[in-house]
Amino acid sequence: MKETGKMDIRQLQIFHEVYRAKSVSKAADSLEMGQPTVSIELNKLRKHFNDPLFVRVGNSMQATAVAESLVGHITDLLDKWKRIAEFTEDFEPSVSTRKFTISMMDISHIVLLPKLVTYLHANAPSISLEIVPITPETPTLMSNGGVDLAIGFVSQLKAGFYQQTLFRQQYECLVSSNHPRIQGELSLQDYEREGHVVFYHQGTGHSILEQQIKKLGIHRDIYIQLSSFLGLGLVIEKSDLITSVPTRLSSIFATNPNLRTYPLPFESPRYTIKQHWHARFHQDAGSRWLRKIIYEFFNTAENRSLQGD
C-alpha cells in the first residue's frame, strides 16, 4: 500500500536529476548533495509511491513505468516552482498601457505636470494619467489602490505609508510690477497695509504660513480667499492686491514681466514637499519606476542648488 507522507521540492529535484542523469552519484554531484542523502530521499519517494522508481540496468538507473508516468508532472511542477522562486515583476514603460492615478494640488499641476507629461510623451507614450486632488480620503484611496501616488504636503498619513522628500521650499510675496506703492522693496508695513489674496485648501502646506503669521502677530487685510491657484497670476497682475506663494510657484509667475516677487518681510517657514505611497505597492515595478522619474525631476544638481541643499 502506498505511503502518504509529505514530499518536498528537494525530493522532486532528486527524482528529476536521477531520471536525467540515470545515476544516483551524478545526481548527487549535480545537486551538490552527498550521495547518502540522495539515496535516503530517493527511498522516501519509493515508499511514497510504493514503487522502486529506478532500477539498475547495467551501469545506469532506468526509470520504471511509474516513474515514466510521473516525470512529466514533476518536470512541470519544478518549472513552475522555479518561476515562482525567481519571480520579478517586469515593467517596460515604452510599451506599457498602464494608467497611474496621482493625487496632487494645483501647484503641482504647474510645477510638476508639464515635466512629467513631456517625459511620458517621449519615453512612455501609451501610459496615461489621472490627476485627482489631495483630500481627507487620499490615504484610504492609496491603501486600496485607488491612488498610486500622492505628491504634496500630506500631514494626515500614519503607519503603512512610505514617503520621499522631493524638495524644500518657503514663501515669497507676489506683486504686480505696476503696483503704485510697492517698488524696490517690500516692508512689513507694506505687507500689513495692502489687500491680500490668500490660498487655503485642506491637505496643503499653506497652514504652515498661516501659523507663522499668527505666531508673529502680523495683521493682513484679506481681500480674496481662493481654493486654487488658477488665475492667481492674472488677479495680482491686474490689481493692487498681493499674495504669498511657495517659491517654486513664484519663480514661474516671475517669468511674467508684469509680476514681481519679493522676500517676505519676516522669516518664512520652510517645509518639505514629498511623494507618498502605501506599503502595499512599495515593490510594484510600475510604481517604483514612476517614483524614480518624479524624484529625479527635483534632484538634479541644478535643482539641488536652487533648493539650497
- Domains of the chain (ranges; CATH) run 9-85 (1.10.10.10), 99-167+273-301 (3.40.190.10), 171-263 (3.40.190.10)
Residues 239, 250: contact at Cβ < 8 Å? no
Distances 305 to 6, 197, 270, 309 between C-alpha atoms, Å = 63, 30, 16, 6
Work out the pLDDT band at 80, boundaries 50, 70, 90: confident
Tell me how long the chain is.
Answer: 309
Distances 195 to 217, 223, 225, 236 between C-alpha atoms, Å = 17, 5, 11, 11
**How far is Cα of residue 129 from the mean position of the Cα atoms in its chain?**
14
Residue 302 carries which side chain, given as an amino acid letter? E
For position 89, what pLDDT does the model report? 67
pLDDT value at 248 more than 60: yes
Interior angle at CA 232, CA 165 and CA 102, nearest 5: 35
Rounded average pLDDT over 268-289:
90
Q: In what order do the strands lie in the sheet with 171-176?
A: 221-226, 195-199, 242-246, 171-176, 259-263
On average, the pLDDT of the chain sits at 87
- Between CA 262 and CA 183 the distance in angstroms is 10
Work out the pLDDT band at 264, boundaries 50, 70, 90: very high
Work out the pLDDT band at 301, boundaries 50, 70, 90: very low
- Between CA 28 and CA 133 the distance in angstroms is 61
For position 304, what pLDDT does the model report? 46
Give residue-wise pLDDT tens across range 184-209: 899 999 999 999 999 876 555 677 88
pLDDT value at 276 more than 80: yes
Q: Find all residues with CB under 8 Å of 265, minimum gap 6, and list them.
A: 173, 186, 187, 188, 190, 191
Which of 268, 276, 284, 249 lies closest to 113, judged by CA?
249
Rounded average pLDDT over 45-54:
93
Which of 271, 283, 289 lies closest to 162, judged by CA?
283
DSSP-derived pairing of the beta strands 195-199 and 221-226:
parallel
